[in-house]
A = this chain, B = another copy of it.
Amino acid sequence: MNKLAIAGSLAFDAIETPFGKREKIIGGATPYIALSASNFGVKPQIISVVGNDFTQEYFDVLHNKGIDTEGVKIDQNNKTMFWAGVYNTDMNQRKTLKTELNCFETFSPEVPQSYQEAEVLMLGNITPKIQQSVIKQFKKRPKLIVMDTMNFWMDIALQDLEETISMVDVLTINDEEAFQLSGEFVLLKAAKKILAKGLKYLIIKKGSNGALLFSNDGRIFSAPALILDTVVDPTGAGDSFAGGFTGYIASKGKTDFETVKAAVIAGSVTGSFCCEKFGTENLQQLTPNDISQRVKQFEELTKFNF
């Protein structure tokens, strides 16, 4: 089975939305990425750190879906990272109530030997320097390195961020971040400028407006968002997108435009499932049939005969 290495946060989340709340569920980027990817016939392998309070039941959530946690350090002197947030009525905004980095504050990733054969490396949204240290630990470069990031790092660590971008193949950001990173305010110009930093592909995530894929040879693909009846909890939707996206590519072992286009749909599929229940709850119980039915919905949504 092809392997997908995933570096990033692993945490406890407390989430409140108009549909209810959860006090202490598995969170951070890597569970969303790994659980989403696990639906595409790959072996997700997490690189992260947890504290002494990350009990077996939480590891089970990952192991039940065949996710490798050899690269997850256990910091016996610290607690697991914790995040608490609440969404407003129309889900457009969320307020962070608490962020306790705990063991994540001194996170120094170590890539196990058994992860070295990864087809794809997915770098969740963490300090650009740490993303770099993960890349450097791979003796054989994975076929595709994908990184997520956010405006925060553009504000406080732009030089490091630019360095990391120059080391990867795919960057996933939203449109506001693309404008900030490029200094352009026309999306196509922003995309070209960012691709010129050495990327093969750029993905612009637009939430309920779908996602755009830009290739460095000028091709563009537009993926719609599914029109969901109910969004219960949007937490982790971007990471679930990244998981479906990289899981699909790792399973195929190819990085051509046609494969990457389909991977954007795979990511849109897992991203949409993620929003329908709290945290990773929906991702834990997906079947291949759920995936293929929803891929069909995406096909239906965009097909036309002129």
Q: Which residues of A pack against B, CB within 8 Å?
A: 89-91, 185-189, 191, 206, 208-210, 212, 220-225, 227-231, 258, 261-262, 264-266, 295, 299, 301-302, 304-306
Contact = CB atoms under 8 A, between A and B. Distances in A.
A262 B187 CA distance: 26
Contact of A262 (B231, B265, B304): B304
Contacts of A265: 304, 306
The binding surface of chain A is classed by DSSP as: mixed
A58 to B, nearest CB: 31
A92 B194 CA distance: 21
B228 A188 contact: yes
B301 A220 contact: yes
Most B Cβ at <10 Å: residue of A188, A221, A222: A222
Q: Quickly give the copy total for this chain.
A: 2
Contacts of A89: 185
Given A208-B187, A209-B206, A229-B186, A262 B222 contact: no
Contact of A227 (B212, B230, B261): B212
Given A206-B209, A224-B224, A265-B306, A229 B301 contact: no
A220 B228 CA distance: 11
A261 B189 contact: no
Given A206-B209, A221-B301, 17 more contacts: A186-B229, A186-B230, A188-B229, A209-B209, A209-B210, A212-B227, A221-B304, A222-B227, A222-B301, A261-B304, A262-B304, A262-B305, A262-B306, A265-B306, A266-B306, A295-B306, A299-B304
Contacts of A301: 220-222
A227 B186 CA distance: 9
Contacts of A188: 227-229
A225 B222 CA distance: 8
Contacts of A306: 262, 265-266, 295, 299
Contact of A185 (B90, B222, B225, B262): B90
A188 B227 CA distance: 6
Given A89-B185, A185-B90, A209-B206, A302 B222 contact: yes
